[in-house]
Structure 1
Amino acid sequence: MMMILIVKLFGAVFGFFGVIFGAFGAHRLKRILPPEVLHSFETGVKYQLIHAVVLLFLGFHFDFIDFTERMIASCMIIGVLLFSFSIYGLCYAKAKRLNLKFLGPITPVGGLLLMSGWGLLIYYIIVG
C-alpha cells in the first residue's frame, strides 16, 4: 500500500536529515548561535529523530487500512514538518539576521499535531 511506503520513507528521510542537522548544529551552528538558540535547534533535531524512529516502527507494524492508523502517521509527519522545520527556520533567521518571525506561531501547531498523533496512538492501543 502507498501509505506504508510514504510513512517508511518519511521516517527514513527524517532520520537521515536529523543526523545531518544534528552534526551541523554541533559543529557549525555552535560557533555562531547563542546557547539558547542552539538549544532550540537541538530540540528540533531531537524531536525529528524520535519521530523518525516512531514512523519507521509504524510503517513496519501498521497496514494503514484503519483511519486512526493513517491519522496517527499523518499527525506525526505534518507535526515534525511544522515543529522541527519552523525551529530550524527561526534559528537560521537568527544566524543570518533575517526576520522570519512568522514561523514562530507554526511551531506550537506542529507540537499540537505531534501530541495529537501520540494521543491517537494511545486511543488506538486502548480501543484498538
Structure 2
Amino acid sequence: MLQLLAALSGAVAVAAGAYGAHGAQGKAAEWLSTGAQYQLVHAVAALVAMGMGARGAAWAFVAGGAVFAGTLYLMAAGAPKWLGAVTPIGGLLLIGGWAWLAWSGVRG
C-alpha cells in the first residue's frame, strides 16, 4: 500500500506541475509549482525510505506531501485561502520524516 501511495503521489505531482507550467497563471501557478516540487521529492524520498526499512519515515513523507501539496493545489483551484494555515502541518510531517530517517540511520 505504501509503495502504491508513493507512486501515485509522484504521478499527482507531475500532473500538478504540468498544469502549473502550462495551464495556470499568477499565484495559482506558483502554488502548483511549489506543491509539485515538494510532493515529487518526497514521493521519491518515501520510496528510498521504504528500501532502507524506515517505513515510518516513508509514511510521514507520503502524508506530509499530501497535506502540504494538497492544500496548495486546493487553493490553486479556488478553495479558501485559510487552507494556507494547514499547509505548515504538511511541512512539519515532511521535516518529521527526515528526522525519522536520520534516527533510523543512527540506530542502524
Q: TM-score, normalised by structure 2?
A: 0.88
**Distance (whole Å) between structure 2 residues aligned to residue 102 and residue 25 of structure 1:** 21
2:20 pairs, out of 14, 25, 42, with 25
> How many aligned residue pairs are there?
108
Which amino acid in 2 is paired with 1:9?
L
Are residues 127 and 59 of structure 1, via their aligned partners in 2, closer, same or farther at CA, if it must alter by over 3 Å? closer
Contact 1:47 1:80 in 2 (8 A): yes
1:14 aligns with 2:5: no
Question: How far off is 1:37 after superposition?
Answer: 4.0
Q: 1:58 aligns with which of 39, 43, 49?
A: 49
Q: 2 CA distance for matches of 1:22 and 1:114?
A: 19
CA distance in 2, matches of 1:61, 1:124: 9
What pairs up with 1:16-95 in 2 under 5 angstroms? 16-29=11-24, 33-34=25-26, 36-62=27-53, 69-93=54-78
TM-score (norm 1): 0.76
Q: Which runs of 5+ in 1 are unaligned?
A: 1-5, 63-68
- Aligned pairs for 1:101-120 (under 5 A) are 101-120=81-100
**Identity rate, percent:** 34
CA RMSD of aligned residues (A): 1.6
Q: Which runs of 5+ in 2 are unaligned?
A: none
CA deviation vs aligned residue, 1:47-95 (integer Å, no higher than 9, x gap): 1111111122233342xxxxxx3321221111011100001111111xx
Structure with higher Rg: it is: 1
